[in-house]
Each structure stands twice: as C-alpha cells, then as structure tokens.
Amino acid sequence: MTAIVWRRTELGIKLVFAALLSLTALGVVLWAWRGQEDTGAEEVVAQPIPFSHKHHVGDVGLDCRFCHVGVERTASAGLPSTQICLNCHSQLFAGQAIFEPLRESARTGRPIAWNRVHRLPDFVYFDHAIHVAKGVACLECHGRVDQAPLMQRVATLRMRWCVECHRNPMSRLRDPAHVFEMPPVDTGDSATLHLLQKLQSQQRLTDCSTCHR
Ligand code: HEC
Ligand code: HEC
Ligand code: HEC
Ligand code: HEC
Ligand code: HEC
C-alpha cells in the first residue's frame, strides 16, 4: 500500500519536474527570440574597402545624395559608382593597398562588390523616394550614419517595425528639406504639421497590399 502511494508521489514529482523543465526551456527560447526581435542591430558587415561614413559624412561633410544618387527619385537608394570615389581618390591616398579593389574596378569596369547590409525579402515592396518626399529622415531607419566608422543595421526591418511607424508616423516626420541631415530635429514645426495634413489614411498605410503587391 505505502509502496504504491510512494510510486504515485514519485511519478508526481517527476511530472512536476518535467513541466518545470519544459517551461524553463520555453522561457529561454522566447527570451532569445524576443531579444533578437527587439534590438535588430547586427554585427558590422565586412567590405572590400573599409569605407567610413564617419569620415566622409561626419568629417568631410558630404551629402548622402553625392553617393546614393537615386534616393530622392527612385525606390532604391543605390550604391556609388567607382567614378564617384575616383573624383577624390584618383589622387588622395590613391597608392594605398586598401584602395586595390577601387583600382581593380577602374581597370576592369566591374563595380566594387559591396556587401549588402540591408536586404528585404523579394515579396516586400519598399520605396525610398516616397519616404524622403514625405519627410522620413534617413536617421529614422539607418541611425547616426555620420558617426558610423563601418555601416551597421540599426533597425530590425521586420514587418512589425514598418507597421508601427505606418500606424502613427506623426512624431517621426520632419520638413523634407532636412531629411538628409543627421541630428534629430524638433518635429513640432509648421512645415511638418502642414505635411501631416497631406498624409494618406492610416488604414491605407497598414493595408497588406501597400507593402505586399
Ligand atoms: C562618399 C560616398 C558616400 C556618402 C557621401 C554616403 N554614403 Fe552611404 N554608402 C557608401 C558606400 C561605398 C556604401 C557601401 C559600403 C558600406 O555598406 O559601408 C554605403 C552604404 C550605405 C548604406 C548601407 C547599404 C546596404 O548595404 O544596405 C546605408 C544605409 C547608407 N550608405 C546610408 C547613407 C546615408 C544616410 C548617407 C548620408 C548621411 C550616406 N550613406 C552617405 C558611400 C557613401
Ligand atoms: C569628396 C572627396 C571624396 C570622395 C568622393 C570619396 N572620398 Fe574617401 N576620403 C576623402 C577624404 C578627405 C578622406 C580622409 C578623411 C579623414 O581622414 O578624415 C578619405 C578617406 C578615405 C579612406 C580612408 C583612407 C585611410 O588611409 O584610412 C577610404 C578607405 C576611402 N576614403 C574610401 C572611399 C571610397 C570607397 C569612396 C567612394 C565610395 C570615397 N572614399 C569617396 C575624400 C573623398
Ligand atoms: C523608412 C525607412 C527608411 C528610410 C527613411 C531610409 N531608408 Fe535606406 N533602406 C531602408 C530599407 C528597408 C532598405 C533595404 C531595401 C531593400 O532591401 O529593398 C534600405 C536600403 C538602403 C541602401 C542600400 C541600397 C538600396 O537602395 O537598397 C542605401 C544606400 C540606403 N538605404 C540609403 C538611405 C538614405 C541615404 C536615406 C535618406 C535619404 C535612406 N536610406 C532612408 C529603409 C529606409
Ligand atoms: C519612420 C516611419 C516609417 C517607417 C519605419 C516605414 N515607413 Fe513606409 N511610409 C512612411 C510614411 C510617412 C509614408 C508616406 C505616407 C503617405 O504618403 O501618406 C510611407 C509610405 C510607404 C509606402 C508607400 C505607400 C503608398 O502606396 O503610397 C510603402 C510601400 C512603404 N511605406 C513601405 C514601407 C516598408 C516596407 C517599411 C519597412 C521596411 C516601411 N515603409 C517603414 C513611414 C515609415
Ligand atoms: C508597412 C509594410 C507592411 C505591411 C502594411 C504589411 N507587411 Fe507583411 N511584411 C512586411 C515586411 C517588411 C516583411 C518581411 C520581414 C518580416 O518577415 O518581418 C513582411 C513579411 C510578411 C509575411 C512573411 C512572414 C514571415 O515570417 O516570413 C507575411 C505572411 C506577411 N508579411 C503578411 C502580411 C499581411 C497579411 C498584412 C496585412 C494584414 C501585411 N503583411 C502587411 C511589411 C509589411
């Protein structure tokens, strides 16, 4: 009799332990997943030439459009041609070993094979020009590029991230004349308010077909 009771208790303890164990495991998995979901930051991506936005934007003071020529007019911002670099580096530091990929590209006519830092899946539609025209600064999605020695992704680019802004873009807009500037600005100005009145309905911006066409 006592033996049966004990066996039952033992079974009970085992079950409780098993339950606790799987709960902990689930907790760990969820925690890891959430962590990944929230930060979105990725490691620095290695490049054929260690190009520094901090040098060229922060120190030299070049405008984004000098190199990302498509960003105001087309869906894609585009990466600079070798010719753009050569404007300065056909002279400046031209002999240095780190510029070998630039020299090779100039010789062969093949573009430098920059590694992509941001990449949406093919089934998502994104357009830079629309965001630029409506006053969404580069800063909102790419962070302090002017302080980045090497490019790094700072946002998750997950659907939830896009939709959170599309639901309420209000506080994330600025005068479109200043979208290329890096430091955060006061968004309460009249230009921004004027702009907001011309935004599409929130309903339209969160429709599936807006981003999945
Ligand atoms: C002198 C040229 C130059 C200027 C000016 C410049 N960039 Fe770039 N940018 C590059 C090059 C080259 C790359 C590719 C290498 C890399 O990812 O670091 C790049 C990459 C990027 C990427 C990552 C692209 C990817 O692979 O997903 C972003 C985002 C970006 N630039 C934003 C900006 C912003 C914002 C500005 C203005 C504040 C700016 N850039 C100004 C040359 C430039
Ligand atoms: C308008 C002129 C200009 C253009 C265009 C330009 N650069 Fe530069 N680059 C500079 C200057 C000036 C420096 C030195 C910056 C400093 O040290 O603060 C520099 C520094 C560099 C360095 C660091 C050199 C070293 O010895 O550490 C690299 C690498 C570089 N540039 C790559 C590029 C690439 C790749 C492009 C094209 C995407 C490019 N640059 C376009 C002016 C330019
Ligand atoms: C609303 C968010 C958002 C804003 C604002 C934004 N970008 Fe992007 N950017 C992205 C996304 C998302 C991608 C990846 C696109 C893809 O994979 O199709 C990207 C990719 C890029 C690339 C890689 C080349 C390309 O076109 O895919 C460059 C360069 C770039 N952005 C520069 C800029 C510059 C410069 C600005 C400011 C004028 C800017 N971005 C503003 C979200 C943004
Ligand atoms: C920081 C805010 C913000 C983020 C983040 C953002 N967007 Fe937008 N998006 C806007 C604003 C503002 C508009 C312009 C709305 C308007 O024209 O009324 C817009 C417009 C668009 C449009 C054009 C809608 C149309 O048909 O006119 C598309 C497509 C779009 N966004 C896709 C995306 C995708 C995909 C992402 C994520 C990778 C994203 N957006 C992230 C603010 C944002
Ligand atoms: C503002 C842009 C935007 C809107 C609106 C949007 N999506 Fe997405 N969606 C994305 C982006 C970006 C991704 C890719 C990144 C990711 O998987 O989170 C994505 C991914 C997905 C995926 C693939 C998920 C996965 O894990 O691979 C599905 C399914 C999807 N969306 C369905 C929808 C449906 C249904 C709606 C309407 C209720 C919708 N989306 C509205 C931007 C959007």
Average pLDDT, the chain: 85
Amino acid at 152: Q
Range 121-148 average pLDDT: 96
Q: Is 153 in the pocket of ligand 1 (CB under 6 A)?
A: no
Ligand 3 centroid from CA 77, angstroms: 6
pLDDT-above-90 percentage for the chain? 62
Ligand 5 centroid from CA 59, angstroms: 38
Q: Which two tokens stand for residue 182?
A: 């890096």
Instruction: Choose which residue among 51, 67, 89, 151 to substitute to test ligand 2 binding: the one with the highest number of ligand atoms within 8 A of its C-beta.
Output: 89
Closest ligand, as measured to the CA of 209: 5
Ligand 1 centroid from CA 112, angstroms: 13
Convert the pLDDT of each residue in 12-46 to its tens digit. Answer: 556 555 665 565 565 555 455 544 444 455 678 89
Range 120-128 average pLDDT: 97
Predicted local distance difference test score (pLDDT) of residue 25: 60
More confident residue, 96 or 200: 96
More confident residue, 93 or 188: 93
Ligand 2 centroid from CA 163, angstroms: 37
Amino acid at 185: V
pLDDT at 192 over 80: no
Closest ligand, as measured to the CA of 86: 2
120 CA: nearest ligand 4 atom: 38
Contacts of 130 (CB under 8 A, 6+ apart): none
pTM: 0.89
Predicted local distance difference test score (pLDDT) of residue 30: 47
Predicted local distance difference test score (pLDDT) of residue 38: 45
Instruction: Choose which residue among 62, 79, 88 to substitute to test ligand 2 binding: the one with the highest number of ligand atoms within 8 A of its C-beta.
Output: 88
Q: Is 59 in the pocket of ligand 2 (CB under 6 A)?
A: yes
Confidence of residue 181 (pLDDT cuts 50, 70, 90): very high
Convert the pLDDT of each residue in 203-212 to its tens digit. Answer: 889 999 999 9
Contacts of 54 (CB under 8 A, 6+ apart): 146, 147, 148, 149
Amino acid at 91: Q
Predicted local distance difference test score (pLDDT) of residue 124: 98
Range 163-175 average pLDDT: 90
Ligand 3 centroid from CA 186, angstroms: 23
Convert the pLDDT of each residue in 33-91 to its tens digit. Answer: 544 444 455 678 899 999 999 999 999 999 999 999 999 999 999 999 999 999 999 99
Contact 132, 126 (CB under 8 A): no
Q: Is 166 in the pocket of ligand 5 (CB under 6 A)?
A: yes
Ligand 2 centroid from CA 130, angstroms: 30
Confidence of residue 196 (pLDDT cuts 50, 70, 90): low
Range 136-143 average pLDDT: 96
Contact 155, 101 (CB under 8 A): no
pLDDT at 148 over 80: yes
CA–CA gap between residue 111 and residue 86 (Å, rounded): 13
